[in-house]
Each structure stands twice: as C-alpha cells, then as structure tokens.
Structure 1
Amino acid sequence: MDETIIKKRFKKTVRLTVCVGIFLLALGIFLAVFLVYTLNKVAKDQIKAETVEYISRFDKQIAANFKMLDTFSSVITNSGIEGEENFAQVLTDVSERNAFITIAYFNSSKEGTIVTQGKQARLYLPLSSLQDEIQTVVYDALEEKRSISDLFVSEFSGKTVFVYGVPVYKNGEVAGALVASDHIEIFTDILDGNGVLGGNGYLHMIDSDGRFLIRSHCAVVKEKVSSIFDGPYLERCAPEAVRRALQNGEEVSFSFPYQGETYQSLLEPVGTNGWYLFCVNTVQASSHFIYTLVLVIAASFFGVLALSIFLLYYDYRSVQKSNQELIRLAYYDDLTGAYNLFYFCQKIGKRLAKPQSCSIVAFNLFQFKFINEIFGRDQADKLLCDISKTISQHLKEGEFYCRDTADSFYIFLRDTRQDAVCTRLNTLFDEITNSTSLDSDFRVSAYCGVITAGERGKKAYDVDQLMTLVMFALSKAKEKRRSRICFYDASLHETMKLENYLEGRMQYALETREFHMFLQPKINLKTNSLGGAEALVRWVEDNGVVICPDQFIPLFEKNGFCVQLDQYMVECACQKIREWIDKGIEPIGIAVNQSKSTFYESDHIDALCRLVEKYQIPPKLITLEILEGLAMENIKELNRKIEQLQKTGFQISMDDFGSGYSSLNTLAKLKINELKLDKGFLREASLEGNQRSKIIMKQIVQLADCLSISTVVEGVETKKEESFIRSLGCNYGQGYYYSRPVSSKEFDIRYMEDRRGY
C-alpha cells in the first residue's frame, strides 16, 4: 500500500475521529448543560419546598400560641374569673405553663392586669400608658380581630418581643382582650437546625425592609450586617427591584458570590407582619459545576453517561419518595395515621358505585374540648391515637375508618342490622372508656350517629348526602345523652325535614304574624277573681295548620331565634294592655316567658323599656318569667339582671319551680316577685299518702310568703287540687280547671268585658 493511500486513510480516520469527538463532546456538553439545568431547577424547587415547609412550621408555632390564648379566652368567657381576686395569679400560672414573657387581660374599659415573668403583677393599668405596639393589638382584639404586633423592645422585660392578641367574649359580645408577648427567639429552633436542605443550607428571618430579625449560626457570610442591602447578597441584583418586591410581599430568587463561591438564595414571604424567610443553599452554583462536568465528560463520555444515569436514577428516587410523602399528606391524618376525611369519602364513593349495603358511623367524644383544657394537648393527642388504634382493632375485612378534626371519627361498617351495629359500637365504646390513657379517674364517654346505605327498599344516597345525614344523627345523639347511638331512620328523617321547614319559614312567620298570643288566666285564690294572665305562643300558618309549641320552641332555643320570638311576645302583651286601656278596661298583668338567650342579651333591658315606652303602659303590668334552670348557673349575675329590671318597674317570676333543680337556698337568694310551682310538684304533693311532698310544698309557700314572694301553682285541673292549694295559702292558681289557654279575643270576651269603666 503506497503512502498516498495511507495518508488518505489516516486523514479519513482523523476526520472521522474529530467528527465523532466533536459530536461526542457536543453531545456531552449538551447533556451536561441539560443535566445542570435540571439540577438547578431541582435545587430551586427544593429550596422553595424547604422554605415553604419551614414557613408551615412557623405558622404552626404561631397557631399553637394563638390556640393557647383562645383556650384561656374560652375559660375566661365561661367562668368569669377575670373579676376574681386571684385573677393575676391565674395569669401568672398560664404564663409559666406556656412560657410567655408577659400575659395580660384588658377589659372593655381598656384597663388591664399585666403579668411579667419574675416581676410583680400590675393591676388596673390603663392601656393608654403602654407602648403603641401593645395598644394596636389590644384595639384589634376589642374589634374581634386576632393579630400579631411588629417587633419592639418591651418596657416590662427589656427584650425584643412581639405580641399576640385575641378577643374575649361574654354573651356573644367582645368583653375584653387577652394578649401575650414572646421573644422572637422562639422561632430560632425552627430556623436554626442542621437539616435545612439536607444540611446544605440555612435560614435567616428578615422583615420587609431587609433587616435581619433572626440569624442562623450556620451562615457563610460572617460579617454582622444589619440588612441584606448592606452585605454581599445583592451584588448581582438591582437593590431597588428587590426592595420593591419585599414591600409588595413577592417572592425573590437570586444568587450571590462570596469568597470565590456562588450561592443560590430565595426570599419567601412568611405571611405575617411582612416577614420573610431568607434561604441560602451552600452548595456551589451551577457555573463551576458545569466546568467540572465538562472536564469529566471530555475525559470519559461513559463516565458522564454513568453519572447521568446515576443522577437520573437519584432524581427518580427523590421524586418517588416525594410522591409517597404527598400521598401520605393527601390521604392520611398526621396525628393518628388513619385515613383523612377526603380519602374516606373517596373510598365510600367507590363502594357505593357497586350494589353494596353498609353503615356509616360518625363518632365523637363528650366534652373533648375540656379534656384538652384539663389534661393538655399532649394527653388529648395520645387519647386520640389510642382511640384510633382501638377502632382499627375492631374492624372486619373490607371496613375502614378516618379521623377528620379534633375528636371526629368516621367508620365504614359492612354490618347493616341495627342490633349487630349496636353490639359492635357498644363494645367499642366500652373498650375506649375502660382503657383510657388519661392519668386520672376521668372516664371518656362517646356518642355516635349511624346511617345505613344500599339496603333494598331504602332511598339511595350519594356520599355528600350520607355525610350530612349521619352528622344530623350525631347531633341528635348528643342531645339525647341517654343513648350513645342514634340511627338515622324515617322518624329522624321527618324530624330533620320538619326542622328544616320550620327554620326556613320562621322569619316569614314572624314578619306575617303567624305567631299568635294566647292567654291563660291566673285566678286570685283570696278573692276568686282574675289576677292576671300568662301569654303563650301558638303558631298558626296561613293555611290554618297549627304547629305545636313543643315542635318549634326547642328548635328556636337551639338556633337562637327565641330571642326575636320572646321580644315579639312581649310586644304582643304590651299591645294588648294598651288596647285594654284605650277601651276603658281595667288592665291586668301579663306574664311572658323569657329564654336564657333572651334574658342575657346585652340590650335586653333597653329593648323592654323601649316597648313599654312605645305603648305607654306601666312596666309593672309585664311579668318576665325565667326558668328554674337559669337560676342555677350564676345567681349573682342573675340577681344583678333582676334588680336592673325591677328598677325599671318590671316584675320577675321564676317558672317551673320544682321541675328538677329546686333549691330553697336558691329561692332565698333570688330577688324575684313571683314563684310559679310546677304542675308536677302539684301532682306529687296532692297524691294520697304523700305527706312528705305536701309538707315540702307547704313550707315553700310559707317561705315565699315570708320573703314577700307571691306564689302561683300551675296545672290545676280538679276541684280537689284547687282545694289543696287553697289550704296551703297559695296566692294564685292556673290551669285547665279555670280555663285552657284561649285567643286574646276570646279572653277579652270571657274575662275583660266586665272590667270596663275602671
């Protein structure tokens, strides 16, 4: 072979080698750049995800502190301890248990009690004397807003702190503000860990002006600058653009050089007071990494290929792991590990798609919020985990359950027979009660609602309907208390329909005056004459259908509509008295029932005064009847309300005395004008041989007489009963023996016509 041919082949080989080399190098560079781009994107996504996770922890810490304040706020609301002498000590105990630096309570008059760790409590301190940051939070709370202050140096503790504030309610109205301060370092443990970006990152906290609030000890920039605008951080950025983004609450991503290395960074808004998390990735930026990869690829394409395969596999594994974590967060409860409600409903939907019968159980604990308050969050969480474990042990194949929030559990059972379901649930309840994890003699009590689905002859429900109906059954189980299990059946369905109908029509009925006032006379037993009347409400629809009081009164007391209805009945009584006066008829007093919600309305007395002034009638002709149970809750507060009403001229009567809570001590303390003895008391005392009840009833009448309280006996139905109450010395009798409740028109004809010309 001649030299020319050899040279030609050599040149061809060189050209081919160069082309292949260039191709491989270009391919390697392309792969390297693509890989680096992917890595950079993953790194940015990782920084983003990591920062969001830490923001979530930050939010949970704030939420936990707010929950502590909300819990104590509810204690103040329900107990009234803010007016007691040891209130400052209670605040001190709460502060020590929750590690607050300062905790304070301000009433609606903007005077407060302030307790600071290691210092003497300050009482009756005017809000205006405190720092502006504290005043702002207190005013927000008094306007029913929860808020957090900016950082400031506390004049009480001398530390840099911020303040939480929540409103405190009384009778549905804001009565005060509960505030507590904590130093910013409480978030240091959250931000200053070694696990940020797998140990390759760190976090600072800054404000919207770029000032550092919390510094990480792991920072690569050692200079103690006060703001990110003063250090090396923004050498590659336009500071004004970053400043505008911070002021607008926008996310900012950038990189900065420091001592020959480049670091990726992210500014993510926290969502509170304009604060930001400043996350820095200590792994070098991509440019240096690209050169390293290119050199590696130039040395060995197969090495780059192997590295690429490894990195792709690693990325795949990371994505797979992240996907598993997302599934866990999407479908499972963090605390107990049970399904969450979303996944539970999803599984039920799949089961209902096939012809299959089942039972859905909604399960709650009685007084769980008090378990949280008495035993603490940790013990309550442990109890929920134990309950979850117990439920899982009682499930059969194909059954499942979930936890929603707090103590709400839902169970899917394959059994549909009520006796079988009751047996299983009672066994479950007994085991939960007997194996409680609370370190006390306290026994956990549970109740549940049940609905069956998929049985022949029964209406088919979708998932949303099932969950709505089982919650209705659960609410009825809580009301009954005598039975821990309530099944949704035809009767409960009718109850639900009726309640929905009544609630949908009640406002219209009030506006169109479908509620009618009936009157039942009270007879003066001394003179055998008319001594007054009691106003009773009757609901008569436009079509003439009469709705019984026991069908709508309990519902109105539950949904709060009784406040409007009570006010309406008082106005009806005022109208009737005005009508008698205008006709020249000597008026009599009318007694009107007052529910608990109405009696404690903040403007109740003013509203009553406006009514009697509107109709120009003497207030003494209106007797307000309160139930006996109301007197057992807070006698001091009740007496204060009674005295205010009596000063304006109204008469106060205690209704249904003897129906369940009777106490002679309570009777002695209450400053009422009239006492109405329950008909059940009369029935028992009038029985032959029941001498003890007669003696008790006689003593009550005599005691009332000594206290200048007139007595009315309800439910008098026979001559014998009337003779009996006369022998006791009672002042008035009321009942069917004299008259049933009649319309106000019929009452006028029967009782009021002969009282003209007084």
Structure 2
Amino acid sequence: MKSNLSYKKLFVFLTIIFGIILTATTYITFNYIKKSDIHKISNDNLKKSISYKKSFMSDYFKPYKNSINAISSNKTLEKYLNNPKKEYQDFVKELFSSYLVTFENINQIELLNKNNKNTIQISKNSKIKNVLSSKNKKELITKFEQFSKNNLYVSTIDFNSTNLITIDFVKQITKNYFIVINVDLKHFFNTLKESRLYDLFLINKKGKYLFYKNLNLNLNTINNSTLYNDFSKREAKKILNNNLSQGKDFISTFTNINNQNYILILKMKYKNQNLSIRDSQNFIFIVIFLSFIILIPLAIYFANLPDKVLKEYEKKLITHNITGLKNSIYLEKKLEKTKNFANSIIILVYINNCKKLQSVYGYTALNKILKEAGRLISSYKENDPNFDDIYSFENNIFAIKYKYSDENQLIKFTQLLFNDLENIEILIDKNSSVYLDLTLGISNPQNLNSKNKLHEAQMALDYAIEKRIDILVYDPNIKSKDINSLNLKILKSIKTAIDKDNVILHYQAIYNNRTQKIEKFETLMRIKNSKNEILYPNSFMDIAKDSKKYNKLTYAMIEKSFKYFQDKDYEFSINLSFLDIVEKGFTKYLEYKINEYGVAKKLVIEIVESESISNYKEIKRFISTMKELGCKIAIDDFGSGYANFQHIISLSQYIDYIKFDGSLIRNIHKDRKSQLLVGVIKFLCDSLGIRTIAEFVEDEETLKFVDSMGINYSQGYHISKPVSNIENIPQ
C-alpha cells in the first residue's frame, strides 16, 4: 500500500513540475520573440513562402494522378471490361474501396461508360454520392475528349451548394470506358492557407476569389471590387497584370492548378508586433492556466488508473472464461497458504461424458452445459454451510472447497450432490437435453493440515475413473502404479494401433468464405483400441509424446494421408509438433514421402503455435526446406500461446496461413475483446500477405461474422464434422 501511495504522489508531483516547466519555457520563449521583428521576418520570407505555396500546389495532385494511372492499368479491371463477371466486379469495387481508404481526400471513384453499361461507383458516403451524382457525366466525358492531355483530363474546381469543393481526374482506359476520381479540396485549401505570418488570397485572372483570407468563398459570390477593398487600385492592377509582383506588405504570382491558371497572393498579417505578441501571449497563458487546472484532476485519475487496470487483469486472470467461476490459478494460489484451507477438504467433480457431449453437440452447446453445471453446483452453497467455495479447475472439472466436520456429513453431501446432478436434465435447446455422467474425487479428510489436498483429490479422481467408482475419498494406501494403470492401458492401445494398422485418419473440411466452396481439408488422427473403440487425440497424444510411440503415429499419418490425397484435387494439411521437427532424420523422411507421392503443391504443414513457436531457429530451418519443395506453411492455434509477433513477422515470407485458435472464434460475434484481438492479427496478416483461417465455426452466425471481418477460410462443425471419406461431404 505504501508503494502505491508513493508512485501516485510521484505522478502528481511530476505533473506539477511539468506545468511549472511549461510555464517557464513559455515565458522565456516570449521574451525571445520580443527581441525579433515579426514584420521584418515576414518581409524577408515573402518570396520563399510564396515559392513554397506554389510548389505545394504543383505537387499536391501528383498522388491522385499516379492513383488513376495505377487503377486504369489493373489487370482485373481489364478482365472486367472484357467480361463483366460478378467476381471481377466485386474485386473492382474492393480496389476502388481500398483507394478511398488510402486517400482520405478522395470522395468517389467511378468507372463510366459512354453507353451507361457496367458502370461502377464507390463513394465515401451516401451524402457525397447524392451531391456528386448530380454532375453531368456526359459533359465531363465531352470535355475530356476536347481538352485531355496525355490521356488525362482534370476538371475545373467545382463549388457545390453543400460547401463541397471538388476536382475530377478523368482517364480513358478503353474506347468507351473512363475512370473518374473525385477529390475533395478542403484539405488542399486548408493546408494552403496555413500561415501565422500571412493572409492568403487565391483569385482567377478576372480577379474573382477562390479564397479570401481564411474564408472559403464561391467564385460567383465575390466580384472584382473585393480585390480593391484589400489592395489599392494600383496594387490590384499590378497583381492582375504581372506574373510576379511585390509591394510593401504583399507578393503575388501566377500559378497553375492542373493546367488552370490562378493568381496566388500572400499578404503580411503583422505590422505592429507588440500588439500581436501581447494578444498571443495573453491567450497562451490563459490556455496554459486552464490546462493546468484540468491537468491536476487528470493526473490524479491516471495515477489511480494502474491500480484499476491491475485489478481488472487480476480478475480476468483468476476467472474461468466459460463458467465465470474462479479458476485453478486462484485455487492454487489460495492453497499456498495452508491456513486458508484449515479444516477443509477438496472435492473434484469430473464430467465423464464431456468429450462425447462436445463431439455430438459442438463447443457452443458444451459451453452452455458447463455454465449450467457450474450454476447447479454453486446452488448447494445456499443450503449447506460447509460448502465454502467453487472453482472451475478445468473445462470438465469443478473443485469444491468444503469444511469437514464429520464423515457422515461428508457422505450425505457428496451422495446428494452426485445423485442430484446425474438426474437433472440440462436443456441445450427446445429439442435437445442431456444428463451428466460424474465421478467425484475427495482429498484425505484424516489429514486436514496437508499441503497436498489438490494432489490427493486428483489421485483419488484418477483412480476412481480407472476403476469406474462414482465417489472416492483419497486413501494413502493407494499405490501410484494403480493410479498410472490407465495410462499404461492407453499406451498399450497405441502400440496395438500401430502394430495392427489401426491408426485412423479423419478429414475436416475448410471452407473458402469468398468462393463459398470447400477447398481444403485438415487431417485428424484417431486410433482404435482392442475393444474396437475410437480414441481421440486428447486421450492418447500426451501419453504418446511421453513414450517412443509418438513418432510412429506421425509416420503412419503421413503415409496414409499422402496416399489418400495423391489423386485428389484438394489441398490438405497435417499437424506437426516441435517433437516431430527436431527428431533426427524426420525432415529427410518427410521430404522423401512428399516426392514419392507427389503432393508438394497440395500439402499444408500446420505447426502448433503454443508449443513450436518458441524455437525459431529450428522452425525456420525446417519450413525453409519445406517451402523449397513447394509446400505451404500454416501456424495453428494462433492466439492460444505466447508467440512473439516480431518473430511471426520475421517468418512471414514462409507462412501461407494463420489459423485462429478456437478460443478466439467461439463467441467472436458476442465478445468485443476477441473481435479486437482477431482484428489486430487479421490486419497483421493482411499486411504480411498471410491468409487467415477461423477454426471452431459452430453456427451460421459465427460464419457470417468471420466472413464480414474478411477472414479467408472457415473450419468447424457448421461446415462439416470430420469424416473418413471426403466424398461424403456435400459441396
């Protein structure tokens, strides 16, 4: 608490010091300005300033000329003109839109046709579109044909009744087609008139104003007499008749805006420096004083902001993202202090059928089930004073902190909890409902001072799952070999699957959001055990990695998937971990198999970001070899780990796809934070030329949302479940 107070005081103190320094600096600056003659400075810089303004006017429109040339030479635009298909039309619209985004001063881009066929018009907004649509397009084309130079015509400056000042760039790209870029000149004129020392006037050769000092004026509203109001008759005549003229307090020159001649005039503002300096000084000191008054409460607010942000972060860190309950991080932190769990035990509630529910109903439904399970367990807290707290330990495990009083009370509570939860019907939707299949593991109530309560409950739970016991209290006599027997059984199933060729591959479709077609497939591994049951990777992959069987599973997947796709016109992907990549001889084996089956051009190698992205030297060497063969590279589960964006950028020349982790996609249409994070990653990928894939697209709403964000591909149960034969998937 003392440290918090100290940095807050320091922050406010530094703010006050900053205010004092700012005031002193301003005072010293004004004293220096007093020693300068503004009139002399203005007069000395007249020619330089008007030369700069003239140069600015000359250079301002070059980017727009370059843009219209770039657009007119676009190959897809040429394809559209020859064959106005919808896919080409959509690309042309996106091309036009990209220029509207890149150049904020472009109001509208049009593809015009003399015969009004296949025209395209993209505008900043409907208001601008309505204003510009009133322009005579035929007259614009006629003037182009009369006055164009180098196949480019620039219209005269146009003043609209809505205060929109514009100019058109017109370029002919075929006999009948023209590109028209309408540019807003407000920024041009605002930049042109910026000057602390001079008033700026811009007139045509007849003396009518485009700009009168700092006001935008319609050419039709100012007559020649206005020139004589600001300048003497002799000066006005001199300005109108000479290419370059200078008086005591002005300078003028003929200038050209896209082949249209105007007269640019700069007139000095200050003849009495003391009055202008005093006015400026008083104004600035008032601004500093008011800013300082505002700055103090802001300083106090920002001094407290780190605490608020830290609290929000800590709350998010210790909260389970699905159930909203405190998570395992919070539980383990509490367990570090034994006194927090004095006279208490840990009860783990395990949902046995969690994976089956996920496979049948998908992640969205599973999330709903987990939330409801958490709510149901929490409801017992109201009626049992010994029920202290509940935590979401994992997605399918809840942990209960329970005050232990006697054995009978514990038995009564756990039996009631178990029976009630297994007999409660949980509704998924109007037509579907499920029941939970539970196992309970309980820490040792005979040793309430143990520091290993969570480990005891976990050991009891593992043993109960293996022996198919509903509720089990930890017994110190349980031997570790018994608890690990389940792992041994799974390891045996892995060995049997390899020996008897029971490694099975399923393929999940990947959908192109733009073409609305299935274009790729991801290879997914399963195995069959001795009972002919299908085992999924989450149940055997970790055990395989701890044994010598993992690489054999990978080799089997490579052999079978390459053979399956060698004669199919689809891209397909295989998942490789860092263990695969660093294994001696693996790269050469993979290279050999790629050449044997000829699948280099259709193979995508997915590298899991959360476990592989930490060693970029090995990754870079491997993917460089694969890219030389013609394979594509994808980073899988991006957003689930702690990837350094700088490393991703450094590898961008090799990466073809980035797959967003499912945790970012599941609720993206509802979760603003997921939207922001995915948007940032999407922007990075677009900038680096990397295509994006959204995993876990479970419903139509999610599909539409990821499509609206510009994500290239979608994958999930809404598109297709994994299948053993891709011919069974309707296209």
TM-score, length basis structure 1: 0.34
TM-score, length basis structure 2: 0.35
